[in-house]
Amino acid sequence: MAVTRMHNTLSKSHVMADRMATVNRLEEVVSTSDEFDQVVSQALPILLDRATGYTKRFLRETGQWNDDIEHEKFALRWGSEYLERFLVYGRSEVPCRPLFLFDSLVAKQHSKPEPFCYHPDLLRPLGRFLDGLVARAVVSRDALIALYHHSYGWGAGDVIAVTGLNGLESQRIYKNFRRWRESGWQRTMDEVGLTKAELAELEQQRQRQRFNSEAERLIRVAQAHYRKSEPDHYPCLSRSQWGDMFAQGYGCDYRIWHLALCLDCMQTAWGLGSSGSLTGEKPRLELQVRP
């Protein structure tokens, strides 16, 4: 027992010493982007802790904090968002002292008048639902396709018509829908931490008059935010540019991806994909809670 305990104490103090050394290294100047990558990659857990800690403190100071798992997860998610930004941005800022650069990046985010991550509505069930859905859509094709259903209430056939897909791509859309219904939706709701009661409450709220306009405001914020992860060559297009793409049948991924994540382009490109069969009114957001 005594030996084990001593061993534990020793390895604990090793860990502490390692941690101190890593932090010290982060405070020193790095002069090349390779050196930046190397120093930072050894310090990811420390930086994540730091960003999450700052985020919690910010939420506490602005009266938006609760001691529960949802808020913990929220702070963790925004901590990793800051870390990701830092990894990209920091390389171009050498020579620098990584730790100070990191702290100033987080502080700058926190001093914005209304930074996305602290949009108070994003801590309410509707905001968490939309944020979770769109966040998932940028990493999961099933969730991306499901976004058409959740935004407009469409089925697979509608998605195929609106995006102007051909046979092979169409088959994939049916599979995306099926997997989302079978497991994807539930898994995403679990990840977001939405309870059965909260989901039922959201369903109730759909009856309210202002529900869809509130949802539209929030989904625009989320779409604009998460679209930043899209390939650089996927910007918004004019109707004639969309028209060319549809008519000539290229840019399949572009259409699927961008139209799911951009309400404005969806309206711009409305009707181009179906050779004239979708002539009704332009689609408005009609939020669906269930898959």
For Zn ion, which stretch binds (CB under 5 A), given 98-106, 166-174, 235-243, 269-277?
Answer: 235-243
Given the rule CB under 5 A, which of 65-73, 202-210, 234-242, 246-254 is the region that contacts Zn ion?
Answer: 234-242
Q: How far apart are the first and last CA of the chain?
A: 54
CB of 215 or CB of 262, closer to Zn ion: 262
Query: Is 261 a binder of Zn ion (CB under 5 A)?
Result: no
We find the least distance from the C-beta atom of residue 262 to Zn ion, in angstroms, to be: 3
- Side-chain-side CA neighbours of 3 within 13 Å: the count stands at 0
Question: Nearer to Zn ion by C-beta: 6 or 236?
Answer: 236
Stretch that binds Zn ion, among 15-23, 143-151, 233-241, 278-286 (CB under 5 A): 233-241
Q: What's the sign of the alpha-carbon dihedral 220, 222, 223, 224?
A: positive
Identity of the residue, 192 or 265, whose beta carbon is nearer to Zn ion in the bound complex: 265
263 is an interface residue for Zn ion by CB under 5 A? no
The residue among 125, 142, 106, 91 whose CA lies nearest residue 200 is 125
- Report the nearest approach of Zn ion to the CB of residue 236 (Å): 3
Q: Does 202 bind Zn ion (CB under 5 A)?
A: no
CB count within 10 Å of CB 27 equals: 10
Q: Which of 183, 80, 194 is nearest to 140 (CA)?
A: 183
One residue of 10, 16, 44, 236 binding Zn ion per CB under 5 A: 236
CB 259 within 8 A of CB 269: yes
Q: Rounded to whole angstroms, how far apart are CA atoms 242 and 238? A: 6
Residues lying near Zn ion in the complex (CB under 5 A): 236, 262, 265
